[in-house]
Amino acid sequence: MRPLVVLAALALALLAAPAATAKPRLLAFTKTAGFHHDSIPAAVDALRAQRRYAVDVTDDASAFTGRNLRRYAAVVFLLTTGDVLDSGQQRAFEGYIHRGGGYAGFHSATDTEYDWPFYGRLVGAYFKQHPAVQPATVDVTAPFARAARLPRAWTRTDEWYDFRTNPRPHVHVLAALDESTYAGGTMGADHPLVWCHRSGGGRAWYSEMGHTPESWTDPAFRRHVLAGLRFAAQGWRGGCPAV
Separation CA 205–CA 105 (nearest Å)? 6
User: What's the whole-number mean pLDDT along residues 87-109?
Assistant: 98
May I ask the CATH architecture of the domain 23-234?
3-Layer(aba) Sandwich (3.40)
**H or E stretch at 40:** helix 40-49
Lowest pLDDT segment from 17-21, 173-177, 191-195, 202-206: 17-21
Question: Is residue 88 predicted with pLDDT exceeding 80?
Answer: yes
Separation CA 144–CA 175 (nearest Å)? 8
Cα distances (angstroms) measured from residue 98 to each of 77, 91, 122, 198, 204: 17, 10, 11, 11, 12
Q: If DSSP states are collapsed to H, E and C, what string results for 132-166?
A: CCEEEEEEECHHHHHHHCCCCEEEEEECCCEECCC
The answer for 106, left when phi > 0, alpha when psi is -120 to 50, beta otherwise, is beta
User: What's the whole-number mean pLDDT along residues 28-54?
Assistant: 97
pLDDT at 7: 46
β partners of residue 153: 139
Contact 102, 73 (CB under 8 A): yes
Q: pTM value?
A: 0.90
Separation CA 40–CA 76 (nearest Å)? 12
Q: Determine the Cα angle at 70 with ends 66 and 75, to 5°.
A: 95
Q: Determine the Cα angle at 139 with ends 136 and 140, to 5°.
A: 130
Break the chain down into helix, strand, coil percent, rounded to 5.
Answer: 35, 25, 35
* DSSP letter (8 states) at residue 52: S
Q: Could you count the other beta carbons within 10 Å of the beta carbon of residue 95?
A: 16
User: What's the whole-number mean pLDDT along residues 217-236?
Assistant: 95
Cα distances (angstroms) measured from residue 215 to each of 17, 22, 39: 42, 29, 9
pLDDT tens-digit readout, 13-25: 445 544 457 899 9
Question: Is residue 148 predicted with pLDDT exceeding 80?
Answer: yes
Cα distances (angstroms) measured from residue 135 to each of 131, 152, 160, 219, 230: 11, 16, 9, 17, 27
pLDDT at 2: 54
